Amino acid sequence: MIFGSYYFRNIKQKFLYLYFYVLVGVCTELFNIVLTKLGSHNSLWISHIYFPLEFVLLAFFYIPHLAPVIKRQWIILIISTFVLYSIVNVLFIQSYNEFSQVRVYSSILLVLFSLIYFYRVMNEGKISKVWEEPMIWVNSSVMIIYSTIFFYNVLANLILAESRDKALLMSYIYSVAIVLFYLLVAIAFWMEGRQQVKRKGINLN
């Protein structure tokens, strides 16, 4: 969030939705801390709000990057269907006091978006130095974190029932994946900000 805020003027055109995604994530974590300090024993209801919101922001972020492969209308349809399912889930399937399982499905969709973007990049062959392209760093981070989230959500309950030590190990792996995700996003914000500053300097000259 610090990197994104510092370079906001330079990254907002390309990474606006990603910045809001990071901002919402930070605000959600802070809200969880406040609830805990106030004595709340169950904040799982937040997952029913946060998980659909994070998917919507990332899906809108991907729209221009997937446009040559997937039309905007199809992604909008996917977003609408997912949000509708999330509402149905909390009303009729899961209790709002339970951890929302919709993230399993959003993880599958986001990993799919990530794979499609990599397919587009390889198919077009326009990027000569992939490590200098900020979007490659973002896309890699999305693939890493949401692949981990998918397996974490699918296997967490099974492993918890089998062994507490295995559940803790899985939590550590999940935590490392989150740190890596935000580190890669921070690098992408920094790279995009620096590149935009250089472009503006060249244009002025």
The DSSP annotation for the chain comes to -HHHHHTHHHHHHHHHHHHHHHHHHHHHHHHHHHHHHTT-S--GGGHHHHHHHHHHHHHHHHHHHHTTTS-HHHHHHHHHHHHHHHHHIIIIIS-TTSPP-HHHHHHHHHHHHHHHHHHHHHHH---S-GGG-HHHHHHHHHHHHHHHHHHHHHHHHHHHHH-HHHHHHHHHHHHHHHHHHHHHHHHHHHHHHHHHHHHHHHHH-
* Mean pLDDT score, 120-139: 86
Q: Report the domain count for the chain.
A: 1
Q: Which range of residues forms the domain containing residue 182? A: 2-204
- Does residue 173 register a pLDDT over 50? yes
Confidence check: pLDDT of 186 > 70: yes
pLDDT by residue (tens digit) across 16-69? 999 999 999 999 999 999 998 888 878 889 999 999 999 999 999 999 999 889
Average pLDDT, the chain: 89
Percent residues over pLDDT 70 in the chain: 94
